[in-house]
Structure 1
Amino acid sequence: MSEQASDIILERMMSLHPKIIDLTLDRVWRLLAALDHPERRLPPVIHIAGTNGKGSTLAMIRAGLVGAGRTAHAYTSPHLARFHERIRLAGALISEEALTEALDRCEAANGGESITYFEITTVAALLAFAEKPADFTLLEVGLGGRLDATNVVDPVLTVITPVSIDHTQYLGTTLAEIAGEKAGILKRGVPCIVGPQPDEALEVIEAKAARLGAPLLVHGQHWHVWEERGRLVFQDETGLLDLPLPALIGPHQIQNAGAALAALRALGFDEAACEAAMTDVTWPARMQRLRHGPLVDLAEGAELWLDGGHNPAAGTMLAQVLGDLPPRPTHLVCGMLNTKDVAGFMRPLAGLADSLTAVPIPGEPNTLPAEATADAARAAGLVADTAPDVASAIHAITRATPAARILICGSLYLAGRVLRDNG
């Protein structure tokens, strides 16, 4: 089967709806019914929503399940380099043949009806999951929760990672409104792991859970997690765990680890699974150190890092990570979408970076022009310039500061392009 077959189908699917995002479940239910409801035939589902940390938490849960000898399907978004990254069948990235078959069947069943790209590709993932044995299914919400295309399942466990302000044009302008959308994944009687939350968000989640009789396991109440002497300590009503720090870098990964551990414990897994969740987890473009490839060669003696965070909470997390690293001249290469709170992302980084070089995101219609990104950086207190692309930015930085620490950041779409260009 042609390696390009899935790309051709995916491109056709982009034209099935005039909008990229149009939150409703009507079209998803219609297509699922036409396919004889694959969502009813899934292995036990763990459904994960939140603003930040969804993907990292899912990756840790998956590592723990694998460490316990279990298999898990996983659905995440967006992809970085290839669409296939979104769908893991029993642990392995979906093959070109399997992806093309699932997309073909969904396209045929849809019959040319209006449906968004995310909706029809989510149904394709559920179809593939329903027909391949596994012990668990891990589903990451794409946007929000209540009306997200993944919210058609009957999970055995839900997880809500930290909620913050993002996607205000779709989810609401207040923490309470956004939390209400995230809490839409709660199901009657189904336990939910709740990560650290602002009070305003937690009140909404607790109220919704009370109405549904959904038991909550809340950070700071039912479980606690902290770093102590280079180790991760987790405590819940079952007892204390003393574990290695998560392989994912940054203090924010401690709270993500806590949610993953709480989930594994709620599912009945032992300390060996919990340790595997910490040591075996991988998740690209989350404060990832690039060590090989053309861009690394171009950087020569500089450190090259990559992160896809793109909202104010992610900016705060990145600032914490940079503040914990050994001192070194630090320069940002940043590209962002015009739908994001650019100043909010940059403000926490202003005191930690010596400069920011703004770049456009190639191939993205919603990319913020480099000069507009640079203007926002200056307004946030950063010294800023522009470059036509990431390679040019790295070259200019290393020519002026050979031993620099360079962090490429601002968008998962930019991160995906960097990973493709860096091989």
Structure 2
Amino acid sequence: MQYVHLAGTNAKGSTAQYIAGILSQKHTCGLFTSPHIISPCERMRINGKDIPARQYEEYMEKARGEKDDHLFSVWTNAALLWFEDNHVEYAVIETGLGGRLDPTNIVPSRMQVITPISYDHMALLGNTLTKIAREKCGIIKPDSVVISHPQEDEAMRVIRATCERQNARLIVLDEQAIHVHESGVAGQTFDFTYKGKRYHDLFIHAASPMQVQNACVALIAAVELGMDGEDIGAGLREAVIPARVQMCGDIVIDGAHNPAALRELSHTIKQYFAGRDVTVLAAVMRDKDIMGITREIGTFADRVVCTCADKKRGLPARELQPYFSCVQSNEDPNAAFVEAQALAKQKRGILVVCGSFYLASYALGLLTETCDDVLI
């Protein structure tokens, strides 16, 4: 089994899914990502199919054993056991938090991908990009291949120094090699040149400009692993990535939950919905950068409905409300969604659900029962 290991602050899950989608065209490929949106079975996939519910319970029990491990460690071990028993040729593994001490860092990967590094989980990872990057770069192994998104200078210095120390070959995505032909809420068509070869008319079912970069990093990984252009195109085209600017009529669902991700969402909303009235349904976890998150939401919201999507970790809606003007709140996320949807319709605008993957899960759960035109 060959491992591709990913760490970073944002874009890990999307990039991992693009890589796995390409590899699945010719190989048996396992994929371990987090968080899940609707079911924990989504965390473990082989060639695009979730682990069956019964097998999920069996492998979680095997992985749990008699140890009192953290749940994420159990998920990690269960996925690796399932992949091993199914003789997958490749396993694409996304870190949960950080990298150096992450439970996934037991895999002997020969390729690591470092996605954009920004500020998140600072209480655990450090309060500078240098400290955070050092934790993320803890997945880099000796004599490996490292592929990185473009980074802030502070983070890139750490990546380069780590690769030099580990004798790892570093490849950094060249943004100038990307040429986008068409972009819209239903997807984007683009060309990308790598190692002198131009890959024409690639298509992804994703609206965010950042997703093109994610797809190109996945292409680099795939080329380095020996995949051809036809498989790359098919893998990107077939990839399904929920809760990343996911559309259902005039509703946008996005799991963005830190300032950098919300900044990207703001760019996307302004690009595709300029001039439209925007109602935002927001929930934030209490351990996040609340000031930074709410500031970014304020750049595109005409009004905000605050709610709480997780009673243990979530900031109560009444405590989130003072961060916004033109706001109302409801602690019940289902009721808050209905209220926000009604406001958006009244204003003939769009509803944006963001701030938490927990909130995205609530919204998608409701929409799967009522919406026939979900675009991914």
SS at match of 2:288: coil
Q: Which moved more, 1:77-86 or 1:228-237?
A: 228-237
Structure 1 residue identity aligned to 2:242: P
Q: Give the aligned partner of residue 278 of structure 1.
A: 236
Matched, 1:155 2:109: yes
Q: What is the alpha-carbon distance in structure 1 between the residues aligned to residue 205 and residue 42 of structure 2?
A: 20
Q: Match for residue 71 of structure 1?
A: 28
* Bigger Cα Rg: 1
Amino acid of the structure 1 residue aligned with 2:52: S
Shift of 1:121: 2.0
103 and 395 in structure 1: CA distance in 2 versus 1, 3 angstrom threshold: closer
SS state at 1:333 partner: strand
> Is 2:297 the partner of 1:354?
no
Q: Which residue of 1 aligns with 2:338?
A: 392
State the alpha-carbon separation in 1 of the partners of residues 47 and 203 from structure 2. 26
Equivalent residues in 2 for 1:204-243, closer than 5 Å? 204-220=158-174, 224-228=177-181, 231-243=189-201
Q: 1:273 to 1:340 in 2, by over 3 A?
A: same
How far apart, CA to CA, are the structure 1 residues paired with 2:179 and 2:291? 30
Size of the aligned set, in residue pairs, is 359
Query: Identity of aligned pairs, percent?
Result: 32
State the distance in 2 between where 1:45 and 1:356 align.
42
Query: For the residues of structure 2 that align with 1:410 and 1:391, how far apart are their CA atoms?
Result: 13
Assess if the C-alpha contact under 8 Å between 1:226 and 1:254 holds in 2: no
Equivalent-residue separation in structure 2 for 1:251 and 1:337 (angstroms): 26
Q: In the TM superposition, what is the alpha-carbon distance from 1:133 to its structure 2 partner?
A: 2.1
Counterpart pick for 1:412 among 339, 353, 357: 357
Q: Output the amino acid matched with 1:47.
A: H
Alignment CA distance shift 1:277-1:91 (3 Å): closer
- Could you tell me how far 1:100 is from its partner in structure 2? 1.9
Aligned to 1:83: 40
Structure-1-length-normalised TM-score? 0.81
Check conservation: 2:19, 2:219, Cα contact below 8 A: yes
Contact kept in structure 1, 2:337 and 2:363, CA below 8 Å: no
Residue equivalent to 1:13: none
Conserved in 1, the CA contact under 8 Å of 2:254 and 2:353? Answer: yes
Distance 2:166 2:71 in 1: 31
CA distance in 2, matches of 1:71, 1:91: 10
SS in 2 for 1:336: coil
Contact 1:315 1:347 in 2 (8 A): no
What is the rounded CA distance, in whole Å, between the counterparts of 2:234 and 2:344 in structure 1?
38
Q: Write the distance in 1 (CA, Å) between the matches of 2:181 and 2:297.
A: 26
> Which deviations, in whole Å up to 9, do the C-alpha atoms of 1:318-357 show, x marking residues without a partner?
1110011143211111011111112212323423221111
Amino acid at match of 1:153: V
In 1, Cα distance between equivalents of 2:202 and 2:345: 38
Which blocks of at least 5 consecutive residues in structure 2 are unaligned? 184-188, 369-376
Please point out which of 23, 45, 51 is paired with 1:94.
51
Q: 1:372 aligns with which of 295, 319, 327?
A: 319
Normalised by the length of structure 2, the TM-score is 0.90
Q: Does the aligned pair in 1 maintain the 2:20–2:47 contact within 8 Å?
A: no
Query: Which of 315, 337, 359 is 2:262 aligned to?
Result: 315
Counterpart residue type for residue 414 of structure 1: L
Corresponding residue number in structure 2 for 1:30: none
**Per the alignment, in what secondary structure is the counterpart of residue 177 of structure 2?**
strand
Q: CA RMSD in A?
A: 1.8
Q: Is the 8 A contact 2:279 2:340 kept in 1?
A: no
Counterpart residue identity of residue 105, structure 1: K
**How far does residue 364 in structure 1 lie from its aligned partner after superposition?**
3.1
Question: What corresponds to 1:295 in structure 2?
Answer: none
Change over 3 Å in CA distance of 1:255–1:140 after alignment to 2? same
Between Structure 1 and Structure 2, the one with more strand by share is: 2
Specify the alignment match of 1:128 in structure 2: 82
Q: Is the 8 A contact 1:196 1:255 kept in 2?
A: no
Give the Å deviation of 1:242: 2.1
